[in-house]
Structure formats: C-alpha cells, structure tokens
Structure 1
Amino acid sequence: MGSVSIVGAGPGDPELITVKGQRLLAEADVIIYAGSLVPKALLDYAREDCEIYNSASMSLPEVLETIEKSVQNNKKVVRLHTGDPSIYGAIQEQMDALTEKGIEYDVVPGVSSFLATAAALKQEYTLPGVTQTVIITRNEGRTPVPDRESLRSLAAHKSTMCIFLSISMLSEVVEELIAGGYEPDTPIAIVQRASWPEQRIFRGTLSTICKEIEGKGVDRTTMIVVSHVLGSDYELSRLYAPEFSHGFRKASI
C-alpha cells in the first residue's frame, strides 16, 4: 500500500514550507494541490515524473478517488493545502473519509498566513500590558458562524484579532467590530498575499481603512488584523529583565 500525507504549504513563499513538507513533495508520486491558493513554485520540489492534480477543479469525491487509486497502486500521495491545513483547510471531511476507507494518513503542519502577516508587519501580536490573546476568526459569509462567535461578540475582548476570508465584506467587518466594543480609532492593518512577491500592506484605523483601500484591488488572500498592538506603547517583557530569575538564568540585580 502507498501512503498519504496532508501537508501545509505555508503562506506563499516557497521557502516557508517545512523541511518535512519539502521532503515529502520531493518523494511524492502524486501531488494534489489547492491550485487557487498554493503557489505553483512549490511544485518545483516535485519529481519530473510526479502526477500532479489541481484540486481547484475537482470535487471531494474526485479527490478521494484519486487518493484511493494511488494508494492501491502503492504510490506516495501528498495532499497540499495552503497555510496550515488545520485553519480553514476543509481537511476534516477528507480525513474522515480516508478513515472510513481504511486509508492511513499523516498531517504535516504549515506556517499559517496569520503568522506570515505578523512577520510582514514586523509586529508581535501579544504585547505585555496591551493584550495576551489572539483571536483567529472570520466574518460570516457562505459559511455560517455561530452567534456566540460573531465579530460583534468577539470584539468585546479587545484583543488582537486576525480575520480570515473577509476582505470583500470589510465595511461590514468594521461596523460589527465598532458595534462590539472596538473604538473607531483602533489600529487596523490589511496584508494582501503575505510573504508573496506581490505582498501589499495597508494601515489605518477602523474609521479610515475602507477609504484607504478603496479602488486598490485588495481582494482574495488577504488578512485583516485589528489590535492595539499596532503602533502601541507596551510594557517590556519580564523574560529578559535583569532582575527576573527563571530556570535558565539568575537575576543579576
């Protein structure tokens, strides 16, 4: 029997795939990749004789059929997902179906786009005295969101919020965040295609950001970050303070 690996491709930069993920791509007999999101440059790691399928034009039954036939033919299969497959990756239904068919698989994590966004912004999401919480969420669209997880409800925490899959509804996002408790002058950053060569960054406040990106073609593959950490004063971490002792260092003061 062959093998199946569900691999996180990372946010876009081909070098941000994990070492293990790159190795599995190089060893694969079959690669099924999310062509609408995964950069084709990642396929350069594949062998010339590798069978490559773009899942953007495939249904779930077709993906599963391709995997099943490949495994039966003793082939190594990589199912390549964008970012980290555990976040909005739609992999649970695939994993459950593989389990039902008796096909074993491994999952290899990847660098999520919300982390690549922090790198692009050169920003730490968890600053002492500002916030120690990061909320990963999305606005309701074709996929429903439970009422208790609405942007309006989550905004009450006023922590760092990374909002996926919502740029087309930015005005609604802003309205919900302000209604939920964020002040209109709360900083916001929008990063399109974080880590890609065409990466773009826009900054503003909840009250200005819609006008800031108007007419600039900001659409898919975009992360919205709302947080007081963006340009905020903060307390220094105690971890490196001279008077702070821990298991690896004694206080020097």
Structure 2
Amino acid sequence: MIHFVGAGSGAADLITVRGQKMLQEADVIIYAGSLVNEALLEYKKEDCKVFNSAYMTLEEVIEEMKKAEAQNKTTVRLHTGDPCLYGAIREQMDILDDLGFKYDYCPGVSSFSGAASALNLEYTLPNVSQSVVITRMAGRTPVPPKEEISTFAAHHATMVIFLSTGMLEELSKKLIEGGYEPNTPCALVYKATWPDQKTFVCTLETLAKTAADNNITKTALTIVGDVVAHTNYDRSELYNPEFTTEFRQATKSSHN
C-alpha cells in the first residue's frame, strides 16, 4: 500500500493524526526534502528506509515504490502542505494505476491556511471578498494562457500566490495593470508556521521593496486583497440575532 500524506505547512505538530499514524507504520518514507520539516521523520520506525525526493526524479521515486510493493511493504509519500496544491501527485497516481498498485491520500494543512493563521486572517469577509484565487506566476514552469495572472485582478477577490517570491516586481505590475489599485493591501508570509516564520504587511506597490528590504527571496506566500486590512466588512449574518437559521429563530432587533 502507498499512502500520499500531506505533511502540513511547516510545524511538525500540524500533521494530521491520521498522517502521523501512517508515518509511524511506514516501512518506506519518500519525503519532499526541499520543504517538508525533517522533524516529522522522528515518527518513523527504527528500520524504516527514508528517501529524500529532492534529489530524485519521478522515475526514481516510482522505482522505490515498486521495490517496496514487491516486498509487501507500506510506503508513505510525504508531500509538503496539502499535496492537492502544486504537489505533482496526479502524475504519480496515474503510473500507480497503470501498475495496479493500491494507494490513498491523506490531506494536510496547506501553507495558504498556515499563512492565514500567521496573520490571524480571514480570507472571506462579508462585503469585501467571498472568493479566494490560489495561483502562481509563470516562471520556468508555464501556466495556461487563460490563467495569466493579470486576468484575475479584475475580480478584486482575495489572491494567494504561490511560487512567485522571486518575481514580485513583475507580479505587482501585472496585478495593477489587471485592475488592483496600487495601494491594495498585501502580505508576505515567509515559511508559514515554521519556527523562523516572518510576516510583512504592505501594499501592492511596495510589495517588491518589502521583500528586498527583508531579504525574502523564496519560500514565501503573497496575499493580495482588501481582507488583509480587515476593515469595512459586514457582520456575519450567521450570528446576527435578527437572522433566522435552521437552529434558531430571529429575535427582535438588538437596537430596540
């Protein structure tokens, strides 16, 4: 059996209970060493074999899975955050389907959730933003033309931008051209939930300078949108005494 496991956003204790149990029972662990906290390897069995996929190709990862399956062993493929985001898991699963190997997928805490916790931030505020766009800039790996980053800006939704810290000047330019105001609130979160986490709140026009001034060149998320300022939002109707829900009836206006 092969388990794809989300390691969480950084802090070792943010792995799920299920994911921790899978690590403890694994005979083989193949972990994304460039981003996964190595403290998680302390959960492994003494005789567990460990491979760092930062130094491996897809073919080499699959070969180790084949060896483990041939010996009826359990493998954990440990990815950063939640591997449904930029985890490159589908290409592995397709090969495993062709090989007839069984696998499952244990979700994890994404770094975009970790970044929100670092800022005590709510991405969706009533009458400010009810949508979150998770995307990245085109770099060495392209993005589909219809997902050019400037096209998202016209919606003024909350944006969480991965894998783009080295291109913040271009990012700001494209988002302003697309419709965001230069003074749109932004945040940079470096290594969310890790011990050396850093957060910076700025604006779209000062984003690149903020990163440069603080030597932030990688491993950071960029958050763009008015929710960063968390002002001028409406109260949630869910807890409004004048709003009827499935569980309670509305009462008289609190102003009466």
TM tier relative to shorter chain? over 0.9
Secondary structure of the equivalent of 1:48?
A: coil
> Which residue of the partner structure matches residue 88 of structure 1?
86
- Counterpart residue number, 2:246: 247
* Counterpart-to-counterpart distance in 1, 2:94 and 2:150: 33
AA paired with 2:115?
A: T
Asked if the contact 2:211/2:217 (under 8 Å) is kept, the reply is: no
Match of 1:201 in 2: 199
Q: Secondary structure at the match of 1:52?
A: strand
SS at match of 1:136: strand
Matched residue, 2:223: 225
Query: One-letter code of the match for 1:251?
Result: A
CA distance in 1, matches of 2:241, 2:47: 57
Q: CA deviation at 1:48?
A: 1.4
Letter in 2 for 1:59: T
How does the TM-score come out when normalised to structure 2?
0.96
Could you tell me which residue of structure 2 aligns to residue 36 of structure 1?
A: 34
1:56 counterpart residue number: 54
CA distance in 2, matches of 1:205, 1:215: 14
> CA shift at 1:214, angstroms?
1.6
Where 1:229 maps in the other structure, the secondary structure is helix
Tell me by how many angstroms 1:176 deviates: 0.4
Q: What's the CA shift for 1:213?
A: 2.3
Of 108, 128, 140, the match for 1:110: 108
Q: What is the 5 A alignment of 1:1-253?
A: 3-231=1-229, 232-253=231-252
The size of the alignment, in residue pairs, is 251
Q: Residue by residue, what CA displacement relative to the aligned partner does 1:124-149 show, whole Å, maximum 9, x if unpaired?
A: 00000101000000000111112221
Residue pair 2:132, 2:159 contacting (<8 A) in 1 also: yes
Distance in 2 of aligned mates of 1:209 and 1:220: 14
Q: SS at 1:88's partner residue? A: coil
State the percentage of identical aligned residues: 53
Long gaps (5+) in structure 1? none
Give the deviation of 1:104 after TM superposition.
1.0
Q: Residue type matched to 1:123 in 2?
A: L
SS at match of 2:2: strand
The CA distance in 2 between the partners of 1:82 and 1:204, in whole Å, is 27
Report deviation, 1:219.
Answer: 2.2
User: Equivalents in 2 of 1:19, 1:249: separation in Å?
Assistant: 34
Q: In the alignment, is the contact (CA less than 8 A) between 2:163 and 2:219 conserved in 1?
A: yes
Distance 1:191 1:56 in 2: 23
Root mean square deviation, CA, Å: 0.8
Shift in Å at residue 207 of structure 1? 1.2
Q: Cα offset for 1:210?
A: 1.7
Give distance in 1, aligned partners of 2:207 and 2:250: 45
CA apart distance, 1:217 = 2.1
Unpaired runs of 5+ in structure 2? Answer: none
CA distance in 2, matches of 1:77, 1:40: 17
TM-score, normalised via structure 1 length: 0.97
Q: Which letter maps to 2:41?
A: L
Amino acid at match of 1:243: E
Deviations 1:109-164 (A, max 9, x none): 11110011011110100000101000000000111112221111011111000000
Aligned letter for 2:232?
D
Measured in 2, the distance between the counterparts of 1:208 and 1:168 equals: 15
- The 4+ residue runs of structure 1 with deviation greater than 4 A are none
SS at match of 1:117: helix
Aligned counterparts of 1:214 and 1:142: Cα–Cα separation in 2: 21
